[in-house]
């Protein structure tokens, strides 16, 4: 069992501060997720999408999943199946079981092969702490945006 009995005071304060910051961060992204859920249920998809983007970036798996669904359906903004595929892949990696089959369905029917590579690059960037391209859409392959019709194979 870990005790702090013989730990220097500076380390005790550092540990206490880290715990406090974790608790604040968890409550903040829970608040963003709940605000997004309320907005979604009221039909305010733009607000829901904005709140879930914040929560998803902070690691909230349900926000990642729901954001993927919103992007796939074009709720709250333009339809972006590449970003939807990326968010659903991230949610599946983080343990959301419903995200895996949806991600596979998108890749099979809606996301061309070269765009799947783009989406997986976005996932790798997100996992290394770089989520700008995934969230903003900047500097993405323009051939991979807004596919509305299923792939013709």
Neighbours of 145 (CB within 10 A): 16
User: How much of the chain exceeds pLDDT 90, in percent?
Assistant: 31
Question: Which residues 6+ apart lie within 8 Å of 72 measured at CB?
Answer: 79, 81, 84, 85, 88, 102, 106, 110
Who has greater pLDDT, 124 or 139? 124
Tell me, what's the pLDDT at 98? Answer: 94
Who has greater pLDDT, 25 or 7? 7
Burial classification of residue 43, based on how many CB atoms lie within 10 Å of its CB (0-12 exposed, 13-18 middle, 19 or more buried): exposed
Who has greater pLDDT, 20 or 144? 144
For the cut 90, the answer to whether the pLDDT of residue 108 exceeds it is no
Q: Please, which pLDDT band fits residue 78 given cuts at 50, 70 and 90?
A: confident
Q: Please, which pLDDT band fits residue 81 given cuts at 50, 70 and 90?
A: confident
3-state class (DSSP) for residue 61: helix
Burial classification of residue 13, based on how many CB atoms lie within 10 Å of its CB (0-12 exposed, 13-18 middle, 19 or more buried): exposed
Cα first-last separation, the chain: 59
Who has greater pLDDT, 128 or 9? 128
For the cut 70, the answer to whether the pLDDT of residue 120 exceeds it is yes
Q: Stretch 12-22: mean pLDDT, rounded?
A: 54
For the cut 80, the answer to whether the pLDDT of residue 116 exceeds it is yes
For the cut 70, the answer to whether the pLDDT of residue 76 exceeds it is yes
Euclidean distance between CA atoms 107 and 95, whole angstroms: 19
For the cut 60, the answer to whether the pLDDT of residue 54 exceeds it is yes
Q: Please, which pLDDT band fits residue 152 given cuts at 50, 70 and 90?
A: very low
């Amino acid at each position: 069992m870990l005790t702090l009995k013989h730990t220097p005071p500076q380390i005790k304060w550092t540990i206490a501060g880290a715990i406090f910051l974790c608790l604040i961060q968890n409550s903040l992204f829970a608040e963003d997720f709940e605000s997004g859920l309320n907005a979604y249920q009221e039909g305010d998809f733009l607000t829901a999408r904005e709140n879930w983007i914040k929560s998803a970036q902070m690691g909230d798996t349900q926000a990642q999943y729901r954001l993927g669904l919103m992007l796939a359906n074009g709720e709250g903004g333009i339809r972006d199946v590449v970003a939807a595929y990326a968010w659903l892949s991230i949610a599946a990696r983080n343990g959301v079981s419903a995200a895996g089959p949806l991600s596979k369905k998108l890749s099979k029917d809606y996301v061309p092969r070269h765009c799947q590579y783009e989406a997986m690059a976005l996932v790798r960037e997100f996992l290394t702490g770089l989520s700008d391209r995934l969230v903003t859409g900047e500097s993405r392959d323009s051939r991979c945006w807004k596919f509305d019709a299923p792939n013709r194979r």
